[in-house]
């Protein structure tokens, strides 16, 4: 199975908004509402930020939001803060009952 | 509060078998799936496979021939075995809890174990 496609890097200034895309196929992202997003700081385990396309776990800032259109899911971070600088990964359930991750996006807060 | 603690050998020689175990503390063990995910140094996450509490498994097709995931419900533990390792299997290995019922996401993770394969 191929990794979901994410941009290698995005950047933004404090206070701005950024969006990270995650493109798959109708056999994964497009076929199910089981897209999730993870934040990973260096040397740390990933942290769940969004599940089921657009739901936030308890304790995650409402500056993080998710959406999906067709085979592409998106993570938007508004009001960028220095602490948001991290790697972000999307994940999806697949038609074969497997799971697949995106290649990851490095977010730089300028 | 759910906590997942993992352990296992961190240095292997080529052709040996990788073996890691995770113990789950808190929460329901039977209501979730239990997954293994790895991350080569400087690279992205790769899903290895998952198991539910009755032992049903699903594996990444690219690793299926070498992977076995097992569960010990009496101890709330699950384990990963990866055979015939090579340098390409060098990675941080994570275990994680997955909701796994009509909703698939990893909400609790172990701390990660760096496994290095080197002769």
Question: Which residues from chain B sit within 8 angstroms of residue A91, using beta carbons?
Answer: 45, 47, 104-106
> Residue A1 has what pLDDT?
77
> Residue A9 has what pLDDT?
98
Question: Which residues from chain B sit within 8 angstroms of residue A97, using beta carbons?
Answer: 58
A103 to B44: CB separation less than 8 angstroms, yes or no: yes
Q: How far apart are CA B31 and CA B41, in angstroms?
A: 32
Q: Which residue of A has its CA nearest to B93?
A: A45
A52 to B47: CB separation less than 8 angstroms, yes or no: no
A91 to B106: CB separation less than 8 angstroms, yes or no: yes
Q: How far is CA A89 from CA A60, B6, B40, B54, B69, in A?
A: 16, 22, 14, 29, 24
Residues 6+ apart with CB under 8 A from A88: A6, A20, A37, A38, A39, A40, A49, A75, A104, A105, A107
Q: Does A69 touch chain B (CB under 8 A)?
A: no
Q: Does A88 touch chain B (CB under 8 A)?
A: no
- Binned at pLDDT 50, 70 and 90, residue B11 comes out as very high
Å from B102 to nearest chain A CA? 8
Tokens coding A54? 């657009």
Q: Does A38 touch chain B (CB under 8 A)?
A: yes
B103 to A57: CB separation less than 8 angstroms, yes or no: no
Tokens coding B76? 């709330």
Can you spell out the DSSP letters for B30-77? TTSEEEEEEE-TTS--EEEEEE-TT--EEE-TTTTTTEEEEEETTTTE
Q: Give pLDDT tens digits for A61-97.
A: 999 999 999 999 999 999 999 999 999 999 999 999 9
The answer on pLDDT for A21 being more than 90 is: yes
Q: How far apart are CA A83 and CA B15, in angstroms?
A: 41
Q: Does B111 touch chain A (CB under 8 A)?
A: yes
> Residue B101 has what pLDDT?
81
Å from A94 to nearest chain B CA? 10
Q: Which of A46, A50, A35 is nearest to B4 (CA)?
A: A46
- Binned at pLDDT 50, 70 and 90, residue B36 comes out as very high
The answer on pLDDT for B100 being more than 90 is: no
- Binned at pLDDT 50, 70 and 90, residue B52 comes out as very high
> Residue B102 has what pLDDT?
83
Say which of B35, B103, B110 has its CB closest to residue A45. B110
The answer on pLDDT for A54 being more than 90 is: yes
Tokens coding B47? 């899903």
- State chain A's mean pLDDT as an integer: 97
The mean pLDDT of B12-40, rounded to a whole number, is 97
A96 to B45: CB separation less than 8 angstroms, yes or no: no
Å from A39 to nearest chain B CA? 12
CB B118 within 8 A of CB B16: no
The C-alpha angle with vertex A53 and arms to B6 and B52, in degrees rounded to 5, equals 35
Positive or negative CA dihedral for B62, A45, A34, A108? negative
């Amino acid at each position: 199975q191929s990794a979901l496609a994410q941009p290698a890097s995005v950047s933004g200034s404090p206070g701005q908004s950024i969006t990270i895309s995650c493109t798959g196929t109708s056999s994964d992202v497009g076929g199910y509402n089981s897209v999730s997003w993870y934040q990973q700081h260096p040397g740390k385990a990933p942290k769940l930020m969004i599940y089921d396309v657009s739901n936030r776990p308890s304790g995650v800032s409402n500056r993080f939001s998710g959406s999906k259109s067709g085979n592409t899911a998106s993570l938007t971070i508004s009001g960028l803060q220095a602490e948001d600088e991290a790697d972000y990964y999307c994940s999806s359930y697949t038609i074969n009952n497997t799971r697949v991750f995106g290649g990851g996006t490095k977010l730089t807060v300028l | 509060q759910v906590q997942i603690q993992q352990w296992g050998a961190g240095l292997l020689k080529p052709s040996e078998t990788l073996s890691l175990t995770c113990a789950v503390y808190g929460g329901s063990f039977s209501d979730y799936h239990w997954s293994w995910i790895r991350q080569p140094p400087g690279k992205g996450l790769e899903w290895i496979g998952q198991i539910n509490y009755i032992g049903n498994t699903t594996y990444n097709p690219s690793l299926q021939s070498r992977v076995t995931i097992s569960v010990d419900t009496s101890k709330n533990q699950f384990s990963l075995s990866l055979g015939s390792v090579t340098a390409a299997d060098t990675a941080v290995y994570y275990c994680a809890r997955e909701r796994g019922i009509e909703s698939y996401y990893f909400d609790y993770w172990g701390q990660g174990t760096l496994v290095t394969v080197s002769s």
